[in-house]
């Protein structure tokens, strides 16, 4: 019985250590998900890939477009990027922003 208790205790401690290691990562991802919209004028390629239907190539095109043409003035301007049509825009329009308007 003693060895069973020791195994149980070791397993429990291992699980708690793993949980403690993963919790900050999970909390960081949750805060990004709930913190608001993704600013398409400042988001990285990695951040843009969190949007539905936006893979690495399209995310890179978004960054390239704003580098060459300046910041997006309105969210609809993202449809000027190759690979983002009306269907994709309809899925992401409520998830993106161009930042504060002045």
Domain boundaries, the chain: 1-35, 38-97
CATH topology (fold) of 38-97: DNA polymerase; domain 1 (1.10.150)
pLDDT in tens, 28-66: 444 344 458 999 999 999 999 999 999 999 999 999 999
Whether the CB-CB separation of 98 and 84 falls below 8 Å is answered with no
CA gap 55, 59 in Å, rounded: 6
Model confidence, pTM: 0.65
Tokens of 35: 């913190």
For the beta carbon of residue 5, count every other beta carbon within 10 angstroms: 9
For the beta carbon of residue 83, count every other beta carbon within 10 angstroms: 14
């Amino acid at each position: 019985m003693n060895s069973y208790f020791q195994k149980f205790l070791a397993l429990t401690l291992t699980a708690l250590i793993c949980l403690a290691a993963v919790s900050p990562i999970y909390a960081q991802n949750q805060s990004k998900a709930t913190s608001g919209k993704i600013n398409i004028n400042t988001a990285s390629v990695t951040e843009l890939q969190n949007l539905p239907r936006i893979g690495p190539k399209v995310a890179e095109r978004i960054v390239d477009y704003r580098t060459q043409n300046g910041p997006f003035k309105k969210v609809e301007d993202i449809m000027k990027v190759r690979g983002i049509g009306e269907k994709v825009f309809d899925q992401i329009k409520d998830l993106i922003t161009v930042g504060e308007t002045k």
